[in-house]
Amino acid sequence: MASTTEENYLKALFNLSNPAGEVGISELAQHLQVSMPSANSMVKTLHKSGLLIYEKYKPVTLTQKGKKEAALIIRKHRLTEMFLVNKMGFGWEEVHEIAEQVEHIHAPKFFERMDEMMGHPTVDPHGSPIPDKQGRIQEMHFKSLAEVQPGQEVVLVALRDSSIEFLEYLNSRQLSLGTELRLISKEAFDESIVVSYLDSEKETLSQKVCEKLLVKIYESNKSSH
Amino acid sequence: MASTTEENYLKALFNLSNPAGEVGISELAQHLQVSMPSANSMVKTLHKSGLLIYEKYKPVTLTQKGKKEAALIIRKHRLTEMFLVNKMGFGWEEVHEIAEQVEHIHAPKFFERMDEMMGHPTVDPHGSPIPDKQGRIQEMHFKSLAEVQPGQEVVLVALRDSSIEFLEYLNSRQLSLGTELRLISKEAFDESIVVSYLDSEKETLSQKVCEKLLVKIYESNKSSH
DNA sequence: GTATTTTGTTAGATTATTCTAACAAAGGAA
DNA sequence: TTCCTTTGTTAGAATAATCTAACAAAATAC
């Protein structure tokens, strides 16, 4: 069975994979805050276990087996986050650190029970999809708020950044998943955006923020159903 | 911070302590299923951290600091077991293994929240006391069923053995904490006992079993309140 | 198309935890 | 007391994960 360290490498590889599925060693090392030789050495170990493809001086690629293992750890992480928020009353900014530890617990029934108690949720508290028991992931292709045109109405459905800092920023603006936003105007100069939400408060959001907010175009007043 | 391995040694030392607080190295090694040199080496490490007192060729003793650390890990273990049973619907025979992993999580809020959600329970699902936040333990001094005289009525309040095998045995007899038992007779030859409980079923319990069942003398028909 | 920077590799050491083999102290039995 | 068993210790090696220093390949820059 994979050690906690190996599991953390798998997760990192999964998350860092570019569309071609490749990850460079230095990228990996940086993400995990270890030296390149450490990453290099672990990559060789994972290669021997058939979890990734490794050739000298080339970026590495997870195998099917590696991807599945990674996805199942991410499943445990996201189920835990959702459980902490929905069943234990934590805020969405508090759960990552705890889930980072709980995800390494080997106890299928424990996570099964969480899943059941929540009625098989499909996304975590930040809107990221929860892989299924086979490790399959439902990729979502949401637009970011930065791509939306003035006048449109949208619902906040997911985040591209789940750092505590960003989540606390959103908390301070009373922005949460499900919040309906109307895009009032866009400033051509710096691409900042003015939105209204929650009983017509008005708020300016920087482009940096907008890019991290994933939304669904809201079609309440169109022929959508 | 203590590693998971160190935490497991502390817990073992705490549980193996005799009334004088002493534990032999071989006893420790056996309990943790490691060789004596391993135990010896770890004992020296814990000594250097001020968690126990070590002198060559003598049994070791936890310091106050060591006792507190151990008790706080046991607190996390027992809170987890209780949470798994009360809030997640697990059976008392399923929770030990899971708690064995969860107890090593470093996230005070996580356990605080469990504690709150359950209304600050004082015992775990097997009747063992949950140490408080300061690591203080409320020692209970229950009698075992083997010490009770025929004719007496008692309530099952705790167990001396929480192995899966024993718990499954109790399940198969519908014995659980809170069950009221009337002691019908005691066989002098092998000290086995005949009891009735739950709508007057009759059941014979071996001495081996009786010694593991901790009870409170039931005083329903006396001047007790 | 050479020079420089970035990226990746090897060698060798370190720390934590474990082991086996060999030996030493303590304690009970004869 | 002397012997034997149990218990505890030391030495030395193994594995997992990490590091630094030194070097090699690939990519980029001009």
DSSP per residue, A111-141: HHHHHHHTT--SB-TTSPBPP-TT-------
Given this model, what pLDDT does residue A225 score?
A: 38
Give the Cα-Cα-Cα angle B63, B69, B71 (nearest 5 degrees): 100
Counting residues of chain B whose pLDDT is more than 70, the rounded percentage is 97
> What are the residue ranges spanned by the domains of chain B?
4-62, 143-217
Given this model, what pLDDT does residue B191 score?
A: 83
Long-range contacts of B88-94, Cβ-Cβ distance < 8 Å, separation of 24 or more? B88/A110, B88/A113, B88/A114, B88/A117, B89/A113, B90/A109, B90/A113, B91/B167, B91/B171, B92/B125, B92/B126, B92/B162, B92/B167, B92/B176, B93/B164, B93/B167, B93/B168, B93/B171, B94/A109
B91 touches strand C (CB under 7 A): no
CB contact under 8 A, B101 and A113: no
Given this model, what pLDDT does residue A190 score?
A: 85
- Per the prediction, chain B carries an average pLDDT of 94
Residue pLDDT, tens place only, B209-223: 999 999 999 765 544
Give the Cα-Cα-Cα angle A36, A44, A105 (nearest 5 degrees): 90
Given this model, what pLDDT does residue B208 score?
A: 92
CATH 2.40.30.30 at B143-217, yes or no? no
Please check the confidence at residue B9 and state whether its pLDDT lies above 60. Answer: yes
Residue from the list B94, B110, B117 with its beta carbon closest to the beta carbon of A109:
B94
Which residues of chain A carry a pLDDT beneath 70?
219-225
Q: Which CATH architecture has domain A4-62?
A: Orthogonal Bundle (1.10)
Q: Is B109 on the interface with A (CB under 8 A)?
A: yes
Confidence of residue B224 (pLDDT cuts 50, 70, 90): very low
Q: Report protein residues in contact with nucleic acid strand D, where contact means CB under 7 Å.
A: A 3-6, 33-35, 37-38, 41-42, 45, 57; B 24-27, 36-37, 40-41, 43, 54, 56-59
Q: Which of residues 72-91 of A touch B (CB under 8 A)?
A: 84, 87-90
Q: What is the DSSP letter of A146?
A: G
Please check the confidence at residue B158 and state whether its pLDDT lies above 70. Answer: yes
Residues of chain A contacting B97 with CB distance shorter than 8 Å: 107
Given this model, what pLDDT does residue A175 score?
A: 95
C strand bases under 7 Å from protein CB? 6-12, 16-22, 25-26
Closest C-alpha among B177, B175, B180, B182 to residue B152? B182
Sheet containing A213-217: which strands, arranged edge to edge? A143-144, A213-217, A153-159, A180-186, A193-197, A201-205
* Minimum CA–CA partner of A100 in chain B: B105
Fold identical between A4-62 and A143-217?
no
Between B198 and B45, where is the model more confident? B45
Report which residue is nearest nucleotide C10 when distances run from CA to C1'. Answer: A37
Long-range contacts of A163-169, Cβ-Cβ distance < 8 Å, separation of 24 or more? A164/A93, A164/A96, A166/A212, A167/A91, A167/A92, A167/A93, A167/A126, A168/A93, A169/A209
CB contact under 8 A, B102 and A102: yes
The residue type at B77: H
